Amino acid sequence: MWEVKIRKKTLKNLLKLPMNIKVAFSFLKNDLESNGPMAVWEIKDKTIKLMEVTYVGTHEKATY
């Protein structure tokens, strides 16, 4: 099982979003914990299963 960390600023932004988005994020977080990263990721250590969510919101402000 993977550990998903959510930055404080990300959590703050998440709390401002509509309920249906919060629910979708919750499902995504649960899926990531169970199955690991899917779209954009970097694997640094194959033995430590840890990912960090750094942004939640529209893609215009995404840092990737």
pLDDT digits (tens, 9 = 90+) for 55-64: 666 666 666 5
Average pLDDT on 34-44 reads 70
HSE-up of residue 56 (Cα within 13 Å, Cβ side): 24
Return the percent helix, strand and coil in the chain, to nearest 5. 45, 10, 45
Kindly report the pTM of this predicted structure: 0.63
Judge whether residue 42 has pLDDT over 70. no
Judge whether residue 19 has pLDDT over 90. yes
Average pLDDT on 29-48 reads 74
Residue in 35, 29, 30, 36 with CA at minimum distance from that of residue 53: 29
Cα 63 to chain centroid, rounded: 13
Specify if 57 maps to a domain: no
Specify if 21 maps to a domain: yes
Domain count, the chain: 1
DSSP category for residue 59? G
Q: Which domain holds residue 22?
A: 3-51
Identify which has the larger pLDDT, 59 or 38: 38
